[in-house]
Structure 1
Amino acid sequence: MQIKVLIFACFVFLCTMVKGQVDSIIAIPLDKSVLSGVGLKKLSLKDEPEKEFYQKRLYHGDDISIYVVSTEAWNNDFRNFWLDEFVYMFHGQAVVKPQKGKVQLFNSGDYFFAPKGYTGEWEIKTGNNLHYELSVISTTRADSTLISENIEHKLFEKSVLSGVHIQLNDNGKYTEILKKGVELTVMLKAERPSKWQIEPAKEMLIQLLSGQVTIETLAGTETTFFTGDFFIVPNGLEGIWKSDGHGLIKYLTIEKTRLP
């Protein structure tokens, strides 16, 4: 009898521990100081030790990792670029010259996608200053034999992000896949002001393009995000999503590609 009581007590304790761990999972804002370029650490590149190169990791998760990267002007020639990368350019200009296809130009304020398998030049222009960007990659690499169907860089057009084309469904929601790569998927989502239950979440980075979102955990902790904010929804987060705004809440999501 005592053994059964002890086993039951251990089971209850473990369940309580697991529940406590789930309750403590919260949405994580990206550090605005680092996003502003403050506190980046200078690193020495093995192949180019003389180059001015800075980096700081903002998040290292199960599925995605997020960095702020800064460098002086450079020109690299890639053969079979080894990962998918989502980039938001804070300062500088990128000129991409694929081996096959048209030259592409990306400027400060642009969102773009660099696909696994890209081959060609990638030039960063900075003037007399340093380029810096937000970089999102998957934490683990996909099968090395897999490359994106389209290996051109993709600009996420401001005309699309403006959301004029958005038509909400009967549930007041909208989802558009902007890019599905081998490792990362980028989506544009929108909704009317609403409140809904978050099922155990899949890890993703969100940037709120318009409106306000408050996430309440199972433990009752609330975190509110506003237009322009970047934040992470970790794996396993549960709680309540509450959105509000002037008619439409709109946001980008970047997550690991779920291959069939």
Structure 2
Amino acid sequence: MSNADDQPRLIEPVRLSQAVAGGTELEHFEPWPAGMQQRRVGRHALKVWFEGEHLTAMVYQAEEGQLRFESLPYDEHVYVLSGGAVLETDAGERHDYGPGDVFVVPKGWSGTWEFLKDYRELVVFETSSVNAAMNAWFGWE
């Protein structure tokens, strides 16, 4: 007879709930660091719905505003759920995104990221890189 502790851990797919995707179960947190805000981002919220050894997936939502990133510390895969985003590189190249658009912002990218019209996104990151950035920006451990 085997003990339940001897059983292998069951690993199953993790589904994104409609409530999280729709923005109703997100958690508000402190503002972006002042030095990153080109135009104040009001309230913003997120929900980490999966954190694994290598990948972290979350839904992030922000009121209108604009951030400046210097050498983004991670690769970021983005699926826009609502609103819009305008990313402009330091070279002046403008990229506009809206609901249904999917894009990747590579590690090392520098430029501005503008949030438009109740922006909400599904994002996926490499776990250790995003955790280090969130710790540096917000003091999360």
Class of the TM-score when normalised by the shorter of the 2 chains: 0.7 to 0.9
Secondary structure at 1:141 match in 2? helix
Could you tell me how far 1:33 is from its partner in structure 2?
1.5
Task: Report Cα offsets for 1:67-96 as digits up to 9, x if no partner.
Answer: 111111111121101111111111111111
1:24-103 maps to which residues of 2 (within 5 A)? 24-45=10-31, 47-48=33-34, 51-100=42-91, 102-103=93-94
Q: Gapped runs of 5+ residues in structure 1?
A: 1-11, 143-260
- % identical aligned pairs: 25
TM-score, normalised to structure 2, is 0.77
Q: Which of 110, 115, 118 matches 2:109?
A: 118
- Which structure is higher in helix share? 2
Q: Gapped runs of 5+ residues in structure 2?
A: 35-39, 131-141
Q: Structure 1 CA distance, aligned partners of 2:26 and 2:99?
A: 19
Amino acid at match of 1:21: P
Q: Summarize the Cα distance change of 1:93–1:84 in structure 2 as closer, same or farther, 3 Å threshold.
A: same
- Look at both structures and tell me which one has the larger radius of gyration over its CA atoms: 1
Q: How many residue pairs were aligned?
A: 124
Q: Structure 2 CA distance, aligned partners of 1:57 and 1:97?
A: 26
Task: Assess if the C-alpha contact under 8 Å between 1:44 and 1:51 holds in 2.
Answer: no
Could you tell me how far 1:111 is from its partner in structure 2?
0.7
Task: Assess if the C-alpha contact under 8 Å between 2:41 and 2:64 holds in 1.
Answer: no
Structure 1 vs Structure 2 CA RMSD: 2.4
1:102-113 maps to which residues of 2 (within 5 A)? 102-113=93-104
Does structure 1 residue 139 correspond to structure 2 residue 136? Answer: no
TM-score, normalised to structure 1, is 0.44
